[in-house]
């Protein structure tokens, strides 16, 4: 994945299993209330699920002659800004790549520092997130995390399980291929016969099966690749790449990405009769 590796409360922020009327209210909201600009169209729905591949922490820190840890901590602040920006815009789900299954190959000291940062951030930010009614879940292979980390994650998930205003899914020790492998293993362990294996059966065994598919993937720092992120859920996702380094990414950058998404026609592999749009960013 990217060098961002921000082990914070990143992940799929499903800002609620919201009621239908709440969705309608949110979808009519513009960005002008945030920054005085109508970059996000009020008449077009915002994406339900936005995924962010955070990249550029290391470059941001090097440009300031500081260590990578300085960039990671700046990235934590960016996550908070964007998370609450999504809440204001009415985005139901925000998926942010925290730490991939491949990131264990990083220097041991860096991995330890990242895990420590995640734990510290969860401790520090938990009360505020909980008070806003946001649910916290974590996706990834937990068995490879420390017992202390697993206990902290379990506690956060348990305490926020009934929160109605969102789901923050932390993709920690996560990989798209690993998720699919684990889903297949779950099918086998459940004794599902070959003839009963279909997309629905597999999707039900993903890490967080209740989350919707990703509508929009945002990648920072100018890289144009998926890096093993949300391979199943992002099958039909739109991709938006920005040169902005992750620690510099802010709500106006998010608004530009959403505005760009709203101008796209989503066909989901089909071709409409007479060239009419199948779906315009909904």
Q: Is 253 annotated as a binding residue?
A: no
pLDDT of residue 41: 75
Q: What is the reported pTM?
A: 0.80
Is 100 one of the annotated binding-site residues?
Answer: yes
Strand-by-strand arrangement of the 49-53 sheet: 134-139, 166-174, 93-100, 49-53, 216-219, 238-241
Strands 216-219 and 166-174: unpaired
106 annotated as ligand-binding: yes
CATH number of the structural domain 20-173+209-262: 3.40.1180.10
pLDDT at 265: 87
Annotated binding-site residue? 55: yes
Residue range 31-88, pLDDT digits in tens: 444 554 446 776 578 999 999 999 999 999 999 999 999 999 999 999 989 988 988 8
Q: Where are the domains of the chain?
A: 20-173+209-262
Q: Give me the residues paired with residue 100 across strands.
A: 174
| Residues annotated as part of the active site | 55, 103
Listed range (53-67, 139-153, 159-173, 191-205) with the worst mean pLDDT: 159-173
């Amino acid at each position: 994945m990217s060098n961002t590796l921000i082990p914070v409360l990143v992940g799929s922020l499903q800002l609620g299993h919201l009621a239908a009327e709440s969705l309608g209210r949110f979808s009519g909201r513009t960005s002008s209330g945030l920054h005085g600009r109508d970059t996000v169209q009020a008449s077009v729905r915002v994406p339900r699920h936005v995924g962010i591949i955070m990249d550029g922490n290391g470059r941001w820190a090097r440009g300031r002659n500081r260590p990578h840890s300085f960039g990671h901590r700046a990235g934590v602040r960016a996550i908070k800004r964007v998370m609450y920006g999504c809440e204001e815009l009415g985005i139901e789900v925000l998926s942010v790549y925290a730490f991939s299954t491949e990131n264990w190959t990083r220097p041991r000291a860096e991995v330890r520092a990242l895990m420590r940062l995640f734990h510290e951030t969860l401790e520090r930010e938990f009360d505020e997130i909980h008070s806003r009614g946001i649910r916290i879940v974590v996706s990834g292979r937990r068995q490879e995390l420390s017992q202390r980390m697993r206990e902290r994650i379990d506690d956060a998930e348990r305490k926020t399980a009934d929160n109605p205003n969102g789901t923050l899914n932390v993709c920690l020790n996560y990989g798209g291929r690993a998720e699919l492998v684990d889903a297949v293993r779950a099918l086998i362990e459940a004794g599902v016969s070959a003839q009963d294996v279909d997309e629905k059966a597999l999707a039900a065994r993903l890490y967080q099966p209740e989350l919707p598919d990703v509508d929009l993937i945002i990648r920072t720092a100018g890289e144009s690749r998926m890096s093993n992120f949300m391979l199943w859920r992002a099958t039909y996702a739109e991709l938006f790449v920005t040169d902005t380094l992750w620690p510099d990414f802010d709500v106006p950058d998010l608004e530009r990405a959403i505005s760009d998404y709203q101008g796209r026609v989503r066909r989901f592999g089909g071709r409409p009769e007479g060239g009419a749009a199948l779906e315009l960013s909904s």
